């Protein structure tokens, strides 16, 4: 792997998708063994309109997350490589589509991780907007509540994740766009780059004159904009990339 594109880079934006967490035992969504691939009907449970309108859809959603692998998952070599890169003195900002919290668990500074699609570690009330730790609501689901409601106002509870058809926080998106435009290198790791507006952060980076490198098993719509597309496994590719970036800064 020729990593000449790492030369002179001091600021790195890393856009991460589900593929970075598969080595931690969390299935992706669109891969051969992905969540949507194995059970296309589950897409309905992750659609905001259906979730809000149908108690049975909410029941399916909560059951799906009750046994989700992410609750037991530990960071893998790729997550740790990004945390090590930050510790090495490289200005790293992580723009993640993931809701699993593994970047922070690996040691990346929470203030340097933008969770663009939210977090599964909190529940938000759709009425009064109160946020609480997820384990409280999941314990109620485990005890037999199919459709848990807010203890304060009685409205529908949902995980603090962005569902299909739900708008991203415009302030957070604006912050991500500024980071993408001001970083010399954008690494897109483990993302199909099919979900907008997050995927278009790659174009924001390139249009600002920055380099784009894509690390992903499958082709993406943004491959043609990249200075390099890397197909090798993320668990080996990302530690090598992080090592090269750290070495470039320290020498």
pLDDT at 2 over 90: no
Per-residue pLDDT reduced to its tens digit, 4-35: 888 888 899 999 999 999 999 998 665 555 55
The pLDDT-based confidence of 230 (bands split at 50, 70, 90) is: very high
pLDDT at 151 over 60: yes
pLDDT at 46 over 90: no
Q: Cβ–Cβ contacts within 10 Å for residue 100, how many?
A: 24
Query: Is the CATH number of domain 28-67+121-161 1.20.1440.230?
Result: no
At residue 190, the pLDDT reads 96
Give the Cα separation of 185 and 13 in Å (integer): 6
pLDDT at 1 over 70: no
Give the Cα separation of 158 and 241 in Å (integer): 37
At residue 67, the pLDDT reads 85
The pLDDT-based confidence of 44 (bands split at 50, 70, 90) is: low
Provide the residue ranges of all domains of the chain, joining segments of one domain with +. Answer: 1-26+75-117+168-251, 28-67+121-161
> What single DSSP character describes residue 132?
E
Mean pLDDT of all residues in 136-160:
96
Any idea which residue has 């278009």 for tokens?
200
Phi first, then psi: give them for residue 174, nearest 5 degrees: -60, -40
- Of 1-15, 144-158, 163-177, 218-232, which gets the smallest average pLDDT? 1-15
Long-range contacts of 167-171 (CB under 8 A, 24+ apart): 168/116, 168/117, 168/197, 168/198
Whole-prediction pTM: 0.91
pLDDT at 45 over 80: no
Mean pLDDT of all residues in 70-74:
94
Catalytic residue among 117, 121, 167, 251: 117
Provide the token pair at 113. Answer: 């991780």
Within 156-232, strands assigned E span 157-161, 185-189, 211-215, 228-230
Provide the token pair at 194. Answer: 């099919």
Mean pLDDT of all residues in 201-225:
97
Mean pLDDT of all residues in 210-228:
97
At residue 247, the pLDDT reads 87
At residue 8, the pLDDT reads 83
pLDDT at 238 over 80: yes
pLDDT at 167 over 60: yes
**Helix extents (H) in 16-169:** 35-38, 42-45, 48-53, 55-66, 77-87, 102-106, 134-142
Per-residue pLDDT reduced to its tens digit, 107-125: 999 999 999 999 999 999 9
Mean pLDDT of all residues in 149-172:
95
**Total count of residues recorded for the chain:** 251
Query: Is 117 labeled as catalytic in the residue annotation?
Result: yes
> What single DSSP character describes residue 31?
S
Contact status, residue 89 vs residue 251, Cβ threshold 8 Å: no
At residue 208, the pLDDT reads 97
Give the Cα separation of 202 and 218 in Å (integer): 16
At residue 182, the pLDDT reads 97
Query: Is the CATH number of domain 1-26+75-117+168-251 3.30.43.10?
Result: no
Give the Cα separation of 225 and 123 in Å (integer): 37
């Amino acid at each position: 792997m020729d990593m000449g594109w790492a030369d002179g880079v001091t600021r790195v934006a890393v856009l991460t998708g589900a593929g970075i967490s598969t080595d931690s035992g969390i299935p992706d969504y669109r891969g051969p063994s992905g969540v949507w691939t194995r059970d296309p009907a589950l897409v309905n449970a992750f659609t905001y309109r259906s979730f809000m309108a149908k108690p049975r859809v909410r029941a399916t959603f909560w059951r799906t997350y009750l046994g989700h692998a992410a609750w037991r998952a530990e960071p893998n070599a790729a997550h740790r490589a990004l945390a090590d890169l930050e510790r090495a003195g490289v200005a790293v900002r992580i723009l993640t589509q993931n809701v699993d919290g593994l970047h922070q668990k690996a040691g990346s500074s929470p203030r340097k991780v933008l969770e663009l699609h939210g977090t599964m570690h909190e529940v938000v009330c759709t009425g009064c907007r109160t946020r609480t730790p997820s384990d409280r609501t999941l314990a109620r689901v485990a005890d037999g509540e199919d459709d848990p409601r807010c203890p304060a106002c009685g409205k529908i509870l949902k995980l603090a994740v962005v569902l299909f058809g739900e708008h991203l926080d415009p302030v957070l998106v604006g912050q991500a766009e500024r980071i993408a435009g001001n970083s010399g290198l954008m690494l897109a790791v483990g993302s199909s780059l099919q979900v907008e507006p997050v995927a278009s952060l790659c174009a924001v980076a390139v249009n600002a004159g920055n380099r784009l490198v894509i690390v992903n098993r499958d082709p993406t719509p943004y491959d043609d904009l990249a200075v390099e597309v890397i197909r090798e496994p993320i668990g080996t590719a990302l530690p090598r990339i992080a090592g090269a970036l750290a070495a470039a800064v320290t020498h």
